[in-house]
Structure formats: C-alpha cells, structure tokens
Amino acid sequence: MSRPALPTILFWLAFAVSLAAGLMSASDVWMGRSDAAGRGLAGAYAVFILPFPVVGLLVFLIGKSTGSKVAAAAIAGAPLLLAFGSWALGGVAGWRKEVAESAAATFRETGPRALAEAIETGWMERIQYLVSSGVDVNAAGKDGESLVGFALRRRQVDAALELARRGADPLKGPAGEPNALRLAAQDPAFVEVLRAFLKSGTNPDAVLPDDIDRPTQLLFTAMNTNALPNIRAVVEAGARLDILDVNGRTPLSRAIVWRMWDEARLMVERGAPLAPGQPGLANLEATLAEVRPPEEGTPEHEAWTRLLAVLAERGVSPPAARR
C-alpha cells in the first residue's frame, strides 16, 4: 500500500483541526459554558469557521489532481491561517509599538536617555547615580513625555518614587495623554508616588482633564477609579471638600453613595461640610437616607458604624433615627 501524498496529509490535518475548533466553539453554546456575551461570541466564531472544513472536504472529494487537494487543504485550514496571520501581525505591531515607545526612541539627549534606560529596567542604583550627577529629572522627551510619566507608564514604581522625591514635575507630560499626577492619582499601586508629589508641594486641589477632557479636581480624579488609598492621600493633604462633581455631589456625598465608609469618615473628620439644607445631590441627609446599610456582623458594617458615630458627634443623626 502506497503512503498518502503530502497534500492529502495536509488536508486531513487542516480539516481535523478546523472542524475541532468549530465544534468546540459550538459546544460552548450548546452546553452553556459561558455568559451570554461569551456564548454569542463562541456561536459567531463557530458559524464563521465550520463552513471552511465542509467546503474543503467537498473540494477534496470531487477533485482528483494534486492541485485540487492543495486547494482543499488551503480552504479547510483558512481559519487557522487567518488566526495565525492575525497573531503574527499583532506581534509585529506590538513589537513596533514597544520599539517606538522605548527609552532610546523617547529620549534623544544622552543624559535623559541613559536615565530612561535605567528606568526601563528598574536599575535603581543607576537611576540614583544619574540624578545625583545632574541629569535633569524634568527633561522632556518625544511629544513632551516626562521621565516620571515614563516610569509610571512602565509601572516602575520605585523609579517614579525616586524621581518624585527629587523634584519631578507631575504636571508635565505628552499632550492628550494622562500626566504623571493623574496616573499616580488613579492607581492604588502608585499611592506612595502620589504622596511624594503632594509632599513636594503639588496642589491637592489641582485640576486635571478626565477621559473626555472635562476639568476634574484631583480628589474626584482618584474617586473616578475607586482608588481608595489615593483618595485618603489627597484628603490628608488638605484638599477642599466643599467642591461638587459633574453630578452635583460633594466628595462626602459621593463617598457615601459609593459605600466608601472609611474615606467618608476621614472627610468628616477633616471638615467636610455637614450643614443641612444643601441643595440637590449634595444634601447629606438625603444621601444617608437613600443608602442601604451593610449587613450586621461584617467589616463593612463596622466601618459604617464608625462613620455614623463621627457624624453623630457633629450633630447629624443616623438614618434609623429618622425612620
């Protein structure tokens, strides 16, 4: 018996793998192994992939020539080739983006480039040496990128903290991108960098653009991402607590609605306005009345109780007393 020709082997391999991939996707729908969105995506993928092995099989059975078998293998394996091509193109695009955003491409001057390269690898001894040798921590790179922003975007927290302590300006950065202060305010992993900025004189009431370029106070910038330690850092630095967000809530009212009990208590202790009769969503009594208390016996309930206690000390009765 003669061995199968290479085109035949390739066809059956492509047919088997494509058919298996299509059936596996279809089984996610049949067996309900995901949520509605996942099942919808799996179903769409199955509908896309299953015709290819079927059409490839028909071409393979009808055709007799080597060329037809090669064509059948190509048809059956088309989804695999497309997936591989997409993966390869994504990898090339990612590599090109990484190169374009590298230290060498972002900072052209010798000193800042050397410092950025040390930041890129987290080489703290080198960073400290270069800064002590006089490299400007506020040197601007491509499109205005800052060294401390470069460090935060690469999640080199220790490097960013060193630069913040050495006087890096957190408000500098590329146009249209979050500057270092916004990056530090919105990620709990960067809270010590944020504290260093504030300790170095950054205004806790600084106004930054949000994702749609609306002017947003630093405290609300931290609240927008539920960055709890960062919220505390800004409040502890003396941020104003009588400001209103775009919906008309004070930081305290918003913290209560979002069930940030400890952060709300800190705001009360730091002088957040409690006077009755505030209009609209800033009204503290109305805010407290609409909140569902946490279940008793939970850490959240203990934090809620501590909040009510500091409010009571300042003359605000707990919601239960008003029901």
Residue 79 structure tokens = 């989804």
Please give the average per-residue pLDDT across 288-296, as a whole number: 89
Answer yes or no: pTM beyond 0.75.
no
Residue 229's contacts (CB-CB under 8 Å, 6 or more residues apart) are 188, 191
Q: Which of 164, 152, 22 minimizes the C-alpha distance to 79?
A: 22
Residue 90's contacts (CB-CB under 8 Å, 6 or more residues apart) are none
Residue 209 structure tokens = 């653009």
For 54-71, the pLDDT digits (tens) are 888 888 888 778 888 888
According to the model, what pLDDT value does residue 31 have?
Answer: 64
Are the CB atoms for 149 and 141 separated by under 8 Å?
no
For 237-258, the pLDDT digits (tens) are 999 999 999 888 899 999 999 9
Residues 237, 242, 245, 247, CA torsion sign: positive
For 154-207, the pLDDT digits (tens) are 999 999 999 999 999 999 999 889 999 999 999 999 999 999 999 999 999 999
- Euclidean distance between CA atoms 234 and 222, whole angstroms: 8
Fill in the DSSP letter of residue 44: H
pLDDT band at 89 (very low <50, low <70, confident <90, very high): low
Are the CB atoms for 45 and 83 separated by under 8 Å?
no
Are the CB atoms for 274 and 268 separated by under 8 Å?
yes
Share of the chain above pLDDT 70, in %: 85
Secondary element (H or E) of residue 126: helix 124-132
Residues 114, 116, 118, 121, CA torsion sign: negative
- Residue 201 phi, psi dihedral angles, 5° rounding: 115, 5
First to last CA, the chain: 91
Are the CB atoms for 190 and 221 separated by under 8 Å?
no
- Euclidean distance between CA atoms 216 and 246, whole angstroms: 9
